[in-house]
Amino acid sequence: MQIKCPLCSKITTWEENPFKPFCSERCKMIDLGRWAAEDYKIEANMQDEDQDSNSQVMHDPQKEGEDS
| Residue ranges in contact with Zn ion by CB under 5 A | 5, 7-8, 10, 23, 27
* Of 26 and 43, CB closest to Zn ion: 26
Phi then psi for 38, rounded to 5 degrees? -65, -45
68 three-class SS: coil
Other beta carbons within 10 angstroms of residue 5's beta carbon come to 19
Could you give the angle at the alpha carbon of 35 between the alpha carbons of 23 and 22, nearest 5°?
A: 5
* Of 10 and 34, CB closest to Zn ion: 10
Q: How far is the CB of 20 from Zn ion (least distance, A)?
A: 11
Q: How far is the CB of 11 from Zn ion (least distance, A)?
A: 10
Q: How far is the CB of 26 from Zn ion (least distance, A)?
A: 7
